[in-house]
A = this chain, B = another copy of it.
Amino acid sequence: MNVFDRAYDDPVRVLDEDGTVVGEVPDLVDDELVELYRYMKLARHFDGRAVSLQRQGRMGTYPPLSGQEGAQIGSAFALGDDDWIVPSYREHGAALVRGVPLKQTLLYWMGHVDGNRAPDDANVFPVAVPIASQVPHATGAAWASTLRGEDDAFVCYFGDGATSEGDFHEGVNFAGVFDTPTVFFCNNNQWAISVPRERQTRSATLAQKAEAYGIDGVQVDGMDPLAVYAVTKAAVEKARDPDADRPRPTLIEAIQYRFGAHTTADDPTVYRDEGEVETWKRKDPIPRLERYLRAEGVLDDERVAEIEAGVKTQVADAIDEAESVPRPGPRDLFEHAYAELPPELRAQYESFAATREEHGDAAFLEE
Query: Which of A's residues lie within 8 Å of B, judged by CB?
Result: 164-170, 173, 176-177, 179, 199-204, 208-209, 211-215, 247
Contacts and interface: CB of A to CB of B under 8 A. Distances in A.
Max chain B C-beta neighbours (<10 A), residue from A173, A176, A209, A212:
A212
A212 B209 contact: yes
Top 3 A-B pairs ranked by shortest CB distance? A166-B166, A202-B214, A169-B169
Nearest to A170: B166
A212 B173 CA distance: 13
Given A167-B166, A199-B177, A214 B204 contact: yes
A246 B215 CA distance: 26
Contacts of A170: 164-166, 169
30 contacts: A164-B169, A164-B170, A164-B173, A165-B170, A166-B166, A166-B169, A166-B170, A169-B169, A169-B170, A173-B201, A173-B202, A176-B202, A177-B199, A177-B200, A177-B202, A201-B212, A201-B213, A201-B214, A202-B214, A202-B215, A202-B247, A203-B212, A203-B213, A203-B214, A204-B214, A208-B211, A209-B211, A211-B211, A211-B212, A212-B212
A211 B214 CA distance: 12
Contacts of A212: 201, 203, 208-209, 211-212
Given A164-B173, A208-B211, 9 more contacts: A164-B169, A164-B170, A165-B166, A169-B169, A173-B202, A177-B202, A202-B213, A209-B212, A211-B212
A175 to B, nearest CB: 9
Contacts of A199: 177
A201 B170 CA distance: 10
A179 B202 CA distance: 9
Nearest to A203: B214
A53 B242 CA distance: 52
Contacts of A203: 176, 211-214
Nearest to A204: B214
A247 B173 CA distance: 25
Contacts of A164: 169-170, 173
Contacts of A208: 211-212
A97 to B, nearest CB: 31
Contacts of A173: 164, 201-202
A252 to B, nearest CB: 16
A165 B166 CA distance: 7
Contacts of A214: 201-204
Max chain B C-beta neighbours (<10 A), residue from A164, A200, A204:
A164
Contacts of A165: 166, 170
A176 B203 CA distance: 8
Contacts of A167: 166
Nearest to A249: B202
Contact of A201 (B166, B176, B204): B176
A35 to B, nearest CB: 37
Nearest to A208: B211
Contacts of A247: 202
A204 B211 CA distance: 9
Contacts of A201: 173, 176-177, 212-214
A201 B209 CA distance: 13
Nearest to A211: B211
